[in-house]
Amino acid sequence: MELKLKHNGKQQKRLIGLPESGMGYQIIDITLKDGRIIKGVLVCGAENIYLPTGYENICEKDIVKIEMSN
């Protein structure tokens, strides 16, 4: 499922400040309000987050932390 972030929103600004994993994309870990961590998430263009199956109901306000995946 694709989650499109608000243009110039808090999470998008965070992604813009992180390095790219490759040309135009990032691989990140997302921490949610409920404590779940989604690892290895693909982001394209610092705004399109491709969530894995099982996270279809996640929205931008559910995200509390974004960091580069190890």
Residue 62 structural domain = 2-68
Per-residue model confidence as pLDDT tens for the chain (70 residues): 888 988 778 899 999 999 999 999 999 999 999 999 999 999 999 999 999 999 989 999 999 999 999 8
Which contiguous run of DSSP H or E holds residue 13? helix 10-17
Distance CA 28, CA 69 (A): 4
Please give the tally of structural domains in the chain.
1
At residue 31, the pLDDT reads 97
- CB proximity list for 56: less than 8 A, separation 6 or greater: 1
Beta bridge partners of 31: 37, 65
Instruction: End-to-end CA distance of the chain: give it in Å, rounded.
Output: 22
Contact 18, 68 (CB under 8 A): yes
